[in-house]
Structure 1
Amino acid sequence: MFKIAIRPLILVSFCVIFTIFRACAQGAPDTLKVSIAQAEDLFLKNNLKIIIQRYNIDNAGAQLITARLFPNPDFSFNNGIHTNDVMQGPAFKDQSFSISQLFTTAGKRNKNIQLAKIGVDQAKYQFFDLLRTLKFTLRNDFYNIYFQEQSAKVYNDEISSLAKTLTVFKEQYIKGNVAEKEVLRIQSQLYTLQAEYNNLLVGIDTVQSEFKMLVKVSPDTYIQPVYNYDLDGKSIVEMVSYQAMLDSAYSNRYDLRLAKINVDYNNMNLQLQKAAAVPDFSLSVNYDKYGGYGTNFIGAGVEFNLPFFNRNQGNIKQARIAIDQSKVQLQSQQDQLQSDLATEYRGALRLEKLYNSFDPRFKQNFTHLIQEVFKNYEKRNIGLLEFLDFYDSYKTNTLQLNALELNRIVTLEQLNYVTGTPFFNN
């Protein structure tokens, strides 16, 4: 029954070994060692989403140029090609021309200019908010890759040690010095670790892929984060008050600025729609060589529509509704900001207190302990079950410490993201 139970584990191990062999056959990928500052530089230079969003700012600037331009005058010319007047004859063909200029009223041009200026600010705020979001993703991916790789080293070391132990025990089993159940127990533990290790590598590959897209490097490149930020024993969250973070968020969150300026945009649009109810007019001058009132007739005229039916009532109502809607949207974002910041701030304080309660030497001492356990097991001073129990405890505690440190750093990044201010991890 024991042999039957480990068959799936053997199959998993074979798949892991095949995957590693195939990767080696394809050649080792290039490794890019990068710090968080270097990663951000690559991101700002190469990220395609950022480049695309910059074009939106240029487009908004072009719309501002258009809004500042005056309408072109209209010109028309008419040349007679036939007449039935027997008195004048075919040589006397009429010629006329006219020129007219449209004039906008009620300050429509200035209001369109103001709307275009707000549109430029909207594009800028959208750009900087996208930048904030993508940088948050970039930094999170950086830290995730680093700490997952630290956990991968734990698996790699344990798998290597158990593989050596298994080789020794197989030799001893052939000589009759150890029981078969001890060999199978080590094999079972080894296959379990290999399966967990493979799942961890899949997770690292996923985050690596996203990170490489953000900084736009070759998919064949392997990212190796360079991280040396020490948080041991530091109470950095307590040094910044909640109110200071909230004030900074109100000042520096570009999505909040966008929500505020949307209210301004809709207010200005309401003024424009009211102005649109006032008719524009055109002034014209015309000349007719053989006019009805004599030769070389010169006339002037004015043209405008009469607002009897359409006084832009529908667009004015829509503009008023848009103002109310944007005000509610602004209030909603402010409420969400306060809620998010309060939650993240409490979580950061809690994680900081928990992390600082651990002895900084614990990880180092525990690593030394497991090395001594391995030596004692080789000398047969401790039994197999005790040896495997120590190893499992070492792996679990190391992974938990890595996860705790990662969570603490990610929480600090979330505070930076929520406030729109780089308070931490600089």
Structure 2
Amino acid sequence: MQYDARAMKAQRCRCVGLIACCSLLAMGLSLPASAATDLSEKAAATAAPAATTLRISLDDAVALFLRQNLDLLMAKFGIESAKGQQITAKLFPNPTVSIGTLSAYTQGRNIGNSGQLFGQVQQLFELAGKRGYRIESAGFGTQSVEAAFEDAVRQLTFTVKDAYNRTQLAQRRLALAEENRDRFSRILDVNTIRFKKGYIAEVDLIRIRLQFIDFQSQVIQSIQEGDTARGDLRQLLRVSPATGLELTSEFDYKRIDPDINRLRTMALDARPDVRSKRFTMSQREAELKLARAYRIPDVTVGGGYAVQGSKGPDNQGQLALNLGLPLPLFNRNQGGIVQAEVAVQSAEADLSKTLNQVENEVDVAYRNLLQSRRLVEAFLGGVLDDARSTFTIVERAYERGGATILDLLDAARTSRTIQQNYFEALFSYQRHVIQLESAVGQEILL
């Protein structure tokens, strides 16, 4: 059986064993069973995995990222550990059980004829609301950790959206580069014929060829940028490199005109890192109240029962009740109170710093959004269409002899530069939109 060389190259790796066996059988040869099995196993081992394509929108990418990484992030921030501390804060002190013996060793007495066995239970009672303050502090601590986790999700969501948009930008750059390459490939073919017929000079053909090579290099560069951007997005989404990504969200301009005063209010009220700092400050205030409560000593109440030996003076049992109260003569938790007061002041300063930082982030993101919006709208106001039409007009004029090769090359470069700058401006605008959303702490509706 004759096989065409091109057909052989198109066969899948998984068919190598079968083709080899069939070829040998056709020539009258036979393979041992073990050899055939080894050959099949090698072919299966070298078979390439089937490629899959993941169609994903921007919202789907964010949802997939959170689904793939949520458990890891929760473990990292120790949310369950903080909840465990909250449970511990609610527990009462354990009672203490003690058992002992008492015996006299004078006047012929010993443990056998005058011994006494007694048992006692003691319980510590916390006063001045210590347990309540401890529960309050642990509750604020858990809320602070949860808010810090939400803030991490906020920042990582920005990273995912930015990687998604960078991939879209690379795709648009590649499409533009391929369009310019294909267009100049046709121009090069036509002018090669014209050169052979003596209609144009060799230097003009060389200039067209160099411009074609320039567009071809841009195609390669855009492919590399796209592979890098998709690789970054796959890592964030924890997707296999063998999986292709098809981005379904539009890379187009959508005007938003947010209210800056409303955005500032939203950020100061709802942003997770602000809430985390506020919960931390409330926790420090609860710890200060707990430290002050430790100035009041706790009470220990105990009760017990004692049984005398068989030859004791009265051979009767005895009940005991005791009350223990430390005298706060020296230690009234002075150092703990000072430390708690400093912690409150530090938390208050940290909250004030965060509020100022949030206000500035919102203001900067808003101003950047306005400027990038103006730039995009300037391109859409006619500059983009003018650059494209100018290239087409000059190309047709060149074909009729009404323009020089330098005019053609200049129009091509101008058209390419204007379109690339538009893509950059559109990407910058979308990045400033998600930066503003990140600064506010929630999505801005169009």
The one of 229, 250, 254 equivalent to 1:207 is: 229
Deviation, structure 1 residue 94:
4.9
Cα pair 1:146 1:224 within 8 Å, conserved? no
Moved more, 34-43 or 158-167: 158-167
Residue 122 (structure 2) pairs with residue 100 (structure 1): yes
Q: What residue in structure 2 maps to residue 68 of structure 1?
A: 90
Cα pair 2:144 2:277 within 8 Å, conserved? no
Which whole-Å CA distance do the structure 2 matches of 1:160 and 1:102 have between them?
86
**Which secondary structure does the structure 1 equivalent of 2:300 belong to?**
strand
**Which secondary structure does the structure 2 equivalent of 1:100 belong to?**
strand
Q: What residue in structure 2 maps to residue 273 of structure 1?
A: 291
Q: What residue in structure 2 maps to residue 422 of structure 1?
A: 443
Residue 69 (structure 2) pairs with residue 43 (structure 1): no
Change (3 A) 1:293 1:351: farther
Q: TM-score under structure 2 normalisation?
A: 0.76
Which whole-Å CA distance do the structure 2 matches of 1:383 and 1:243 have between them?
56
Change (3 A) 1:351 1:298: same
Q: Which protein has greater RCO, CA pairs closer than 8 Å, 6+ apart?
A: 1
Which whole-Å CA distance do the structure 2 matches of 1:266 and 1:35 have between them?
43
Residue 407 (structure 2) pairs with residue 389 (structure 1): no
Residue 374 (structure 2) pairs with residue 353 (structure 1): yes
Deviation, structure 1 residue 366:
4.2
Deviation per residue, 1:288-331 (Å, 9 max, x gap): 33389865333222334443333222221111111111112222
Which whole-Å CA distance do the structure 2 matches of 1:346 and 1:365 have between them?
28
Deviation, structure 1 residue 47:
2.2
Which whole-Å CA distance do the structure 1 matches of 2:109 and 2:341 have between them?
65
Change (3 A) 1:276 1:206: farther
**Which secondary structure does the structure 1 equivalent of 2:123 belong to?**
strand
Which runs of no fewer than 5 residues in structure 2 stay unpaired? Answer: 1-47
Residue 272 (structure 2) pairs with residue 254 (structure 1): yes
Which runs of no fewer than 5 residues in structure 1 stay unpaired? Answer: 1-25
Deviation, structure 1 residue 171:
7.4
What are the within-5 Å matches in structure 2 for residues 52-91 of structure 1?
52=74, 56-78=78-100
Which whole-Å CA distance do the structure 2 matches of 1:184 and 1:312 have between them?
89
Q: What residue in structure 2 maps to residue 299 of structure 1?
A: 320
Deviation, structure 1 residue 397:
0.7
Cα pair 2:288 2:340 within 8 Å, conserved? yes
Which whole-Å CA distance do the structure 1 matches of 2:186 and 2:374 have between them?
40
The one of 169, 177, 184 equivalent to 1:147 is: 169
Deviation, structure 1 residue 60:
2.3
Which whole-Å CA distance do the structure 2 matches of 1:314 and 1:203 have between them?
59
Residue 240 (structure 2) pairs with residue 218 (structure 1): yes
Residue 430 (structure 2) pairs with residue 409 (structure 1): yes
Cα pair 1:136 1:413 within 8 Å, conserved? yes
Deviation, structure 1 residue 272:
0.8
Q: Aligned residues: percent identity?
A: 25
User: Number of matched residues?
Assistant: 396
Q: What residue in structure 1 maps to residue 306 of structure 2?
A: 288
Q: What residue in structure 1 maps to residue 344 of structure 2?
A: 323
**Which secondary structure does the structure 2 equivalent of 1:47 belong to?**
helix
Deviation per residue, 1:73-96 (Å, 9 max, x gap): 122334799x99965675886533
Change (3 A) 1:27 1:178: farther
**Which secondary structure does the structure 1 equivalent of 2:78 belong to?**
helix
Deviation per residue, 1:334-367 (Å, 9 max, x gap): 2222222222222222332333234456545644
- The aligned amino acid for 1:255 is D
Q: TM-score under structure 1 normalisation?
A: 0.79
Which whole-Å CA distance do the structure 1 matches of 2:272 and 2:240 have between them?
32
Moved more, 373-382 or 105-114: 373-382
Cα pair 1:50 1:131 within 8 Å, conserved? no
Q: What residue in structure 1 maps to residue 359 of structure 2?
A: 338
Q: What residue in structure 2 maps to residue 119 of structure 1?
A: 141
- The aligned amino acid for 2:406 is L
Q: What residue in structure 1 maps to residue 29 of structure 2?
A: none
Change (3 A) 1:169 1:361: same
Which whole-Å CA distance do the structure 1 matches of 2:145 and 2:263 have between them?
25
Cα pair 1:53 1:127 within 8 Å, conserved? no
Which whole-Å CA distance do the structure 1 matches of 2:195 and 2:133 have between them?
90
- RMSD over equivalenced CA pairs, Å: 3.6
